[in-house]
Amino acid sequence: MKVKQVILRHIKMRLKFVFTTSFGSFLDKEFLLLEAKDENGLSGWGESVAFHSPWYNEETIKTNWHILEDFLIPSVLNREIEHPDEISQIFSNIRKNNMAKSTIEGAVWDLYAKQKGVSLANALGGTKKEIEVGISIGIQKNVDELLHLIEKYVKDGYKRIKVKIKPGWDVEVMREIRKHFPNVPLMADANSAYRLDDVDRLKALDEFDLMMIEQPLASDDIVDHAKLQKQILTPVCLDESIHSYEDARKAIELGSLKIINIKIGRVGGLTEAKRIHDLCEKHNIPVWCGGMLESGIGRAHNIALTTLSNFVLPGDTAASSRYWEKDVITPEVTVHHGVITVPDKPGIGYEPNLEVIQQLTINEKSFSS
């Protein structure tokens, strides 16, 4: 297969809720969408999950645009590609920039599956026809608002509730949640808000029978997480610390984690995500698919990946309507009692809505050889 044309679009979408991060809060989420066309005009789609500011990792929309325009797109355009697994090899001389790499690699995977006439799930080796999903709730103004949201999503049937924690918004909040929801599958995401010195505070969370605590310590650490895991009962799940198969291998060997949150963009694409999945399966480490507030394009890739056998825990792939008044795909992603039915159409299985995408586009550029 050859990619004859790439269209890179920078779009902006208004979220239905304010998303709070260490950089502050935002209501508009910006994305890059990448369309890769073959000689017959067939299109594969990928999405950059980089944020506007470098709070989650070092990548941003602007760094992704630069790396894609100046390095990644030129190295893929008009090149004979037998299988999308080759992309990570083509990019091997480019350091890091995983979210940029994942954007074009995902589009090539989608194009490859469409050319073969199979779903992306099938092309990846996934077999599940339905996937169970959970919901991730950001830090709220007060506990009552948080409890109200949990009640709504439990009623919607989401299979697990993920809440963000940080020092001062953790033990007491979890106690309140457990008072109202003693049995709901519950997990916490700390986004590196703690230090190893906070071990007593983190041990106190053992009282609440959490499924896991996600990324409690530094975003580039696997050593202190190994020390922490030996001191707490709650399973440690790593997100930001795991950028590759090698990171996962070392973290498993050190005992730094018991669960991995796989995010396609963070690890550089679907091929690496699948390698990490397979490694974890071999070591009985369950995985789940994390979210990055994706549009429907990225959401579709997450659904396809989650059909692989070791994705045994509910992920963050909620319904389009949780985030967007109108998503950029038809049909939108819907969730029924916490379950998504996996589309079996060729590729990502959802049709990009070009009219909506054009309305949301704030910049675009076409590249062809």
Ligand X SMILES: O=C(O)CCC(=O)C1=CC=C[C@@H](O)[C@@H]1C(=O)O
Whole-number minimum distance, CB 322 to ligand X, in Å?
7
Using Cβ positions, the residue closest to ligand X within the complex turns out to be 291
Buried-exposed string 310-345: b where 16+ CB fall within 10 A, e elsewhere:
bbebbbbbbbbebbbebbbbeebbebeebbbebbee
Taking alpha carbons only, the member of 270, 242, 241 closest to residue 84 is 270
CB of 291 vs Mg ion, minimal distance in Å: 9
Choose the contact partner of 56 out of Mg ion, ligand X, none; CB within 5 to 8 A by kind.
ligand X
* Residue 50 vs 108, nearer CB to ligand X: 50
- Residue 288 binding partner per list ligand X, Mg ion, none, with a CB distance cut-off of 5 to 8 Å that depends on partner kind: none
Contacts of 271 (CB under 8 A, 6+ apart): 84, 85, 87, 88, 105
Residue nearest to Mg ion (CB): 239
Which of Mg ion, ligand X, none does residue 292 bind (CB under 5 to 8 Å by kind)? ligand X
Q: Is 59 annotated as a binding residue?
A: no
- Per annotation, catalytic residue among 164, 250, 274, 365: 164
By CB under 5 A, the residues from 209 to 238 that bind Mg ion are 214
In terms of CB distance, is 57 or 271 closer to Mg ion?
Answer: 57
The nearest distance, CB 140 to ligand X, in angstroms, is 14
Q: How far apart are CA 138 and CA 133, in angstroms?
A: 17
Q: Is 214 annotated as a binding residue?
A: yes
Under 8 Å between Cβ of 91 and 101: yes
Q: Which is nearer to Mg ion, 132 or 189 (CB)?
A: 189
Among Mg ion, ligand X, none, partner that 192 touches (CB below 5 to 8 angstroms by kind): none
Q: Is 239 annotated as a binding residue?
A: yes
Binding-site ranges for ligand X (CB under 6 A): 56, 136, 189, 191, 239, 290-293, 316, 318
Give dist(CA 110, CA 87) in Å, integer: 13
Closest distance of CB 228 from ligand X, Å:
17
162 part of the active site: no
Comparison of 9 and 263: residue with beta carbon closer to ligand X: 263
Choosing from 263, 282, 345, 365, which is the catalytic residue?
263
164 catalytically annotated: yes
Residue 147 backbone class (left: φ over 0; alpha: ψ -120 to 50; beta: rest): alpha
User: Rounded CA gap, 306 and 101, in Å?
Assistant: 20
Of the residues 59, 189, 221, 327, which one makes contact with Mg ion according to CB under 5 A: 189
CB of 139 to Mg ion, least distance (A): 13
Q: Which residues pair with 9 in a beta bridge?
A: 33, 364
Least distance from C-beta 294 to ligand X, angstroms? 6
# chain residues binding Mg ion, by CB under 5 A: 3
Phi, psi of 118 (to 5 degrees): -125, 160
Residue (113 or 287) nearer to Mg ion, CB: 287
Using CB under 5 A, which of the segments 61-69, 129-137, 188-196, 340-348 binds Mg ion?
Answer: 188-196
- State the minimum distance, in angstroms, from the CB of residue 239 to ligand X: 5
- Nearer to ligand X among residue 109 and residue 288 (C-beta): 288
**Residue 239 binding Mg ion, by CB under 5 A:** yes
In the bound state with Mg ion, the residue whose beta carbon lies nearer, of 266 and 274, is 266
Say which entry of ligand X, Mg ion, none residue 316 contacts (CB below 5 to 8 A, set by partner kind): ligand X
- Residues belonging to the active site: 164, 263
Provide the annotated binding site: 189, 214, 239
Provide the annotated binding site for Mg(2+): 189, 214, 239
Sites of contact with Mg ion (CB under 5 A):
189, 214, 239
